[in-house]
């Protein structure tokens, strides 16, 4: 069936110079292009799959996207079970239900955004390792190879189709629980931009800004290395030029949809190796405590965090301005870095993103949010070190946006 590949432990050591040793451990195959999802059953059959479990949500059932995949898989003669009750920020309980359904499957198929792909990846651990998914919080906590996962994204955002991470909501603790390990990198990613053509503007904006955050944080992380840099640069360029047309005329601008899905995937590969930064440390508590959609939280936090980080690595922020198409010739590095930050502020202004206060976030909540942000696993890799007071001030600036 799925051929084994080398699985290295996740390693986010700081990349010091061009002679340092670093690891690069992507796994699995990618099938990319308009109409690629029609080949789902055919590709799984080639891999020897006889029984599969599809993980998706009611929205994709309602709009007929799930049926396309079901038909493709069943036409290939593969027995298929379907779990279609994934919720936004899928929970520990959802993961357990999926794992119970998939006990005798050869593969889990995650169809949707991160809220479908992530629980499929987490359930893959439970199928072979048992226990509670809470046992696997952190990196490389499982000992047995998880069930293989095929991932089919329906939005250009999380990059979960090509990352070794899953984020699961633990509602008992009001905590978004990170789980990592190269063993849950999808064995097969099927990326079909056609599946995004009918996405509403708000979802396109939020998921697209999430992907941009991945790319920029990977490019300015303390753990950068040459491969992640190349991927992050290309991702930033693609997303910077495609996100506005994808949001506002994505029903007809299929080239923009294509570039957004490619950019999101490349950004996922980039942060798999280079890690992320404090935008994500801030976004996760907002999602866990106030149900702020992850892409919305990152969209609001990203320019504020960039402004905070800019002085730590101004050369990188200056380059970001160039990736957005700004003419930085003749500018000082600091002026160009400011231009890079301004590009993202202006992009946020153009996006249909709700302000933070509309989710019920108040001044009184900032200290608790900052406490949880301090626990974020990406904080040590951020370009600039951050204190609790820094987080309080950053949240306060985010609250002032889009009023």
Domains contained in the chain, number:
2
Q: Are residues 101 and 189 in the same domain?
A: yes
Q: What is the dihedral of CA 84, 243, 228, 309, to 10 degrees?
A: -110
The answer to whether residues 151 and 261 belong to one domain is no
- Residue 18 has a pLDDT of 60
Answer yes or no: do 164 and 236 share one domain: no
> Phi-psi category of 218—alpha, beta or left, where left has phi over 0 and alpha has psi -120 to 50?
alpha
Q: Which residues contact 315 (CB under 8 A, 6 or more apart)?
A: 333, 337
Ranges of residues in the chain whose predicted pLDDT is under 70: 1, 14-19, 402-403
CB 266 within 8 A of CB 215: yes
- Please check whether residues 40 and 164 belong to one and the same domain: yes
Query: Interior CA angle at 264 toward 222 and 286, to 5°?
Result: 70
What confidence tens digit (pLDDT) does each residue in 52-80 have? 999 999 999 999 999 999 999 999 999 99
What is residue 67's predicted lDDT score, i.e. its pLDDT? 97
Task: Indicate whether 9 belongs to any domain.
Answer: no
208 in any annotated domain: yes
Q: 100: domain range?
A: 29-195
C-alpha closest to that of 261 among 192, 345, 337 = 192
Structural contact between residues 317 and 340, judged by C-beta atoms closer than 8 angstroms: yes
Radius of gyration of the chain (CA): 20
Whole-model pTM: value is 0.95
Q: How far apart are CA 353 and CA 295, in angstroms?
A: 9
Report the 10 Å Cβ neighbour count for 60. 23
Task: Please report the pLDDT score of residue 403 as a whole number.
Answer: 52
For residue 241, with 0-12 CB atoms within 10 Å meaning exposed, 13-18 middle and 19 or more buried, which class applies? middle
CB 377 within 8 A of CB 178: yes
Q: What is the pLDDT of residue 20?
A: 73
Q: Which of 138, 160, 195 is the last residue of a domain?
A: 195
Q: What is the CATH number of the domain that holds 131?
A: 3.40.50.1970
**Per-residue confidence (pLDDT) for residue 25, from 0 to 100:** 73
């Amino acid at each position: 069936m799925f051929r084994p590949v080398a699985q290295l432990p996740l390693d986010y050591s700081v990349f010091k110079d061009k002679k340092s040793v670093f690891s690069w451990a992507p796994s699995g195959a990618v099938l990319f292009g308009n109409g690629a999802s029609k080949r789902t059953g055919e590709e799984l059959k080639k891999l020897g799959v006889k029984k599969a479990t599809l993980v998706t949500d009611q929205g994709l059932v309602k709009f007929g996207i799930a049926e396309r995949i079901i038909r493709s898989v069943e036409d290939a003669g593969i027995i298929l079970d379907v779990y279609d009750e994934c919720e936004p920020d899928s929970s520990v309980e959802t993961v357990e239900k999926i794992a119970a359904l998939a006990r005798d499957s050869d593969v889990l198929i995650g169809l949707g955004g991160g809220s479908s792909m992530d629980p499929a990846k987490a359930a893959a651990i439970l199928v072979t390792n048992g226990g509670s998914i809470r046992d696997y919080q952190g990196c490389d906590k499982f000992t047995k190879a998880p069930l293989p996962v095929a991932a089919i994204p329906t939005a250009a955002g999380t990059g979960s189709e090509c990352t070794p991470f899953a984020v699961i909501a633990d509602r008992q603790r009001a905590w978004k629980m990170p789980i990592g390990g190269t063993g849950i990198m999808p064995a097969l990613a099927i990326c079909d931009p056609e599946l995004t053509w009918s996405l509403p503007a708000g979802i396109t904006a939020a998921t697209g800004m999430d992907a941009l955050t991945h790319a920029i944080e990977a490019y300015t992380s303390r753990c950068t290395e040459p491969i992640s840099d190349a991927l992050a640069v290309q991702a930033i360029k693609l997303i910077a030029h495609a996100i506005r047309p994808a949001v506002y005329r994505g029903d007809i601008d299929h080239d923009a949809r294509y570039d957004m899905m490619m950019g999101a995937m490349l950004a996922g590969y980039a942060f798999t190796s280079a890690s992320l930064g404090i935008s994500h440390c801030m976004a996760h508590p907002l999602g866990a405590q106030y149900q702020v959609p992850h892409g919305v939280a990152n969209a609001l936090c990203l320019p504020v965090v960039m402004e905070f980080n800019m002085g730590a690595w101004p050369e990188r922020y200056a380059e970001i301005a160039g990736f957005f198409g700004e003419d930085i010739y003749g500018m000082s590095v600091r002026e160009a870095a400011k231009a890079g930050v301004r590009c993202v502020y202006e992009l946020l202004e153009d996006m249909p993103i709700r302000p933070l206060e509309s989710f019920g976030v108040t001044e009184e909540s900032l200290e608790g949010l900052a406490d949880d942000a301090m626990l974020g696993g990406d904080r040590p890799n951020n370009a600039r070190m951050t204190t609790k007071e820094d987080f309080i001030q950053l949240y306060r600036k985010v609250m002032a946006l889009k009023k």
